[in-house]
Structure 1
C-alpha cells in the first residue's frame, strides 16, 4: 500500500488518516505545510486540504517536488466546494487531482489508488 502525507487541519487530517489507514495505507499528518517538503522522499502520495486555509499550493508543490532527490510524488488537493479560486490555484500549481473536500472524504482510498497506479515521470 501507499505511504501518504497529509497536509491540512488536524481534525480533517485525522479523520482522513483513519480512512486511509483502514484501507491499508501508511499515513503521516504534517502540521506545518512549509515543512512538508522535508517528508517528500518518505511518501508515495501527497494529499493537501486547501480548505484548511493559509496554504500556498504553488509554493508547497514546487518545494515538495524540488530538491536534490526530485520526487515526482503524485499530489491530490481538496478544496471547499464553494471556493472555485482554490481549485484554480491548485490546478495551476500542477496538482495531479483536484477534488471537492466532500469527494475526498467519500473516495479517499480510491483516489490514492488512482494516483499510485499512474506511472511516475522523472
Structure 2
C-alpha cells in the first residue's frame, strides 16, 4: 500500500521534556486512534526547537536550522490507498485546528527502516 509522510507544523512542539499528560492528551489521543486504525506505521514527536543544533559548513550552532515559526514539530508515516485518503486522515491532526499550525502530506518515494549492520 502507498505510504505518505505527514509533517506536523506548529509554533512550538507540545513535547517539551517536562510536558504534562494534560498538555499531550489531544495529540496522544489522535496518535492512538491512528495506530488503532492500522494506518499509522511510524511516528516521531520532536522536542522543542530550543533543543536543536544546526549544522552548516561554517560549523554547529544552537537553535533550529530555520528560526521562523511555524516549524516541523513531528512527523508520521501513513499507509493509505491513495493521496485523497491520506489527506482525509491527516485533516484530523490536532495541528490543523490550531490558528497557525497545520500539516503537509507528501507521498513517500523510497526508503524505510534500515536494519543494524546493513
Q: Is TM (by shorter chain) over 0.5?
A: no
- Larger relative contact order (CA 8 Å, sep ≥ 6): 2
Structure number, greater radius of gyration: 2
Bigger fraction of residues in strand: 2
Bigger fraction of residues in helix: 1
For normalisation by structure 2, the TM-score amounts to 0.30
For normalisation by structure 1, the TM-score amounts to 0.29
